Structure 1
Amino acid sequence: MSESRNPAHVALYNSSYVILFDDGSWSSRGVPESLVKKMEQTKSKIEFVSLGPNEQWFFRLENGKVVYDVDDQKLRDDLRNSVDKPFKLWFNDDDDDDDNASYILQYSDLSLSWNSIPNDFHNKLNGRQKSLPVVKNITFGPDNTWWVSFQDDTARSSSQIPRHIGTQLKHTKCLVLDPQDEDNYFIFKDNGSLTWQVNDDFDDDINEKEEDDDVVYMNPHRIRYTQKSISPRFRNGQSIEQLRQDLEDGITNVDKVPKINVIRTRSGNIWSLDNRRLWCFHNASNIDRIPVRVTDKRPSWFNNRIKNIKEPFEIRVRGSSEETEHYSDVDGSSDWSGYD
């Protein structure tokens, strides 16, 4: 990761994301086109952004101006008619209440207003409203899960936070959950380190990939995934199933597909940094040898993430009607050297 470009803020929703970097640049994937256009038009640095259901969004500029697209009348009224300027807006995705939008709005004086939030969270916030310290950050996950931090550097979370996230929350400065996907998260640690699991596009936008790493040929069935789930499409919109079929039919070959980047650990295990292409190689019946780029540069999230991957040769393709689990024939032994 470049020293001059580090993530300062992240927003997630249904594996779509916006990353704001500390140099004022930003990256996004899968977000509404209306949001992208507004962000491209801004001349001031964007300091905060949030994503919500039904393609709703909100962002705040360095100069204090806010820009948003929301479809709930009460929320629009709260944004327009408040005495203090809106400061932050967090969307919740409450599937149990179709009539009322679920959100928390923070104003420039750091006071809060909210609507239709989980009862346990309401009780937590209602107590804090009456005395300092005030809320610093909030995030919502699936099924009304939540996490909140306060200005006194304490934090609280719902008891239903997924275990693979909850075990990493010690010394967390800020947590970002995905209201639509419990696998996705981003953690800013107190010591400045980062850990996350989102998707390959997200990894690409944060990590700088070096072109001068060693290129070797490997059996793809010996390479492990570094995610529990993947998108069914690549960044360019092509489906991973189409590439798998093209490989199997001989329409394309492994040398025409961009090389995947892998890390080899001391135990000899090989881990992929490009999980969708690896899925294609795993599931094309005629592929047993691929070129890979071996790198010694581990992303900051790598060690923590692989600790939480219990089935490294399995991965779920998100968005399919059957939510099919895909399996490899490899037993996961760690005594293989990594080369064909």
Structure 2
Amino acid sequence: MGNGESTVYMRPSQIRYTHDSIQANFRNGTPMEETFRQLVFQKIQVDSLPMIEVTQHNGYWYVVRGNRRLFLLKKLERLGRVTTVQMVNKPFDSDVFNRQNTTRNMGLSIRIRGDPDLEQKLNQIWNEYQNSWSCIVS
């Protein structure tokens, strides 16, 4: 890490989005739904994802890079699967922030483009996971 960057551990719920919407697929084409499935079923670990980059602005933490990852991590936190996540704390850069910041609600929520049923699909994956454990326990 350089240029004033540091590593911080934060709850995903402490971070606000900078985008007003995100595409349902990552840049490499992987659907967010598939990454969520791999995380829930522990095929991959949270720390295998690239670290989210955050910055502080007007007393709030915002994601600088990683809005899609943040969306999934917030969902995992609500489900009790994630508490804190290692992130890169970047010094505030108004040019970068203003370029990234398209949110209309101070980053409190985000809209999914390309898959209006994504939230429902993520809930279904979580239910599949819970049912797989109940079959083992029964």
Please identify the structure whose Cα radius of gyration is greater: 1
Cα drift, residue 265 of structure 1 = 2.1
Gaps of at least 5 residues in structure 1 are 1-210, 325-340
Deviation of residue 295 (structure 1)?
Answer: 0.4
- Structure 1 stretches of at least 4 aligned residues deviating more than 3 Å after TM superposition: 303-308, 321-324
Q: Deviations over 1:239-271 (max 9, x none)?
A: 11111222222222221111010001242x110
2:19: which partner in 1?
Answer: 227
C-alpha distance 243-301 of structure 1, shift in aligned 2 (>3 A)? same
RMSD over aligned Cα atoms: 2.5
2:104 to 309, 315, 320: 309
User: Contact (CA 8 Å) 1:216, 1:294: kept in 2 or not?
Assistant: yes
Provide closer, same or farther for how the CA distance between residues 299 and 311 of structure 1 changes in structure 2, counting only shifts above 3 A. Answer: closer
Residues 307 and 242 (structure 1), Cα distance of their counterparts in 2 relative to 1, 3 Å cut: closer
Distance, in Å, in 2 between the alignment partners of 1:247 and 1:289 is 15
- Is 1:290 the counterpart of 2:89? The answer is no
Identity %: 27
| Alignment partners' CA distance in 2, 1:237 and 1:319 | 12
Q: Aligned pairs, how many?
A: 114
State whether residues 244 and 283 of structure 1, in contact with CA within 8 Å, keep that contact through their aligned partners in structure 2. no
Structure 1 or 2: more strand by fraction: 1
- Residue of structure 1 equivalent to 2:8: 216
Task: Describe the superposition over 1:265-301 as per-residue Cα deviations: whole angstroms up to 9, x where unpaired.
Answer: 242x110021011111011221121110000042515
Kept in 1, the 8 Å contact 2:18–2:102? The answer is no
Question: TM-score if structure 2 supplies the norm length?
Answer: 0.70
How far 1:232 sits from its partner (Å)? 0.9
Counterpart-to-counterpart distance in 1, 2:43 and 2:118: 27
Instruction: State the secondary structure of the residue aligned to 1:227.
Output: coil
Q: Whole-Å Cα distance in 2 between the matches of residues 308 and 229 of structure 1?
A: 8
Q: Are 2:21 and 2:112, in contact at CA under 8 Å, matched by a contact in 1?
A: yes
* Corresponding residue for residue 129 of structure 2: none
Higher RCO by CA contacts (8 Å cutoff, separation 6 or greater): 2
Amino acid at match of 1:261: E
The residue that corresponds to 1:150 in the other structure is none
| DSSP-derived class of the 1:215 partner | strand
Pair 306,234 (structure 1): closer, same or farther in 2 beyond 3 Å: closer
The amino acid of 1:263's aligned partner reads T
Q: Name the one with the larger helix percent.
A: 2
Read off the aligned partner of 2:47 and give its amino acid letter.
Answer: D
The separation in 2 between residues aligned to 1:299 and 1:243, in whole angstroms, is: 31
| One-letter amino acid of the counterpart of residue 315, structure 1 | I
Residue type of the alignment partner of 1:292: M
Change (3 A) 1:264 1:231: same
Against the structure 1 CA distance between its residues 239 and 303, is the aligned structure 2 distance closer, same or farther, given a 3 Å change threshold? same
1:226, 1:271 within 8 Å by CA — same for their partners in 2? yes
Deviations 1:139-163 (A, max 9, x none): xxxxxxxxxxxxxxxxxxxxxxxxx
Q: How has the CA–CA distance of structure 1 residues 323 and 248 changed in structure 2, closer, same or farther, with 3 Å as cutoff?
A: closer
For 2:69, what is the secondary structure of its paired residue?
helix
Distance in structure 2 (CA, Å) of the matches to 1:229 and 1:293: 22
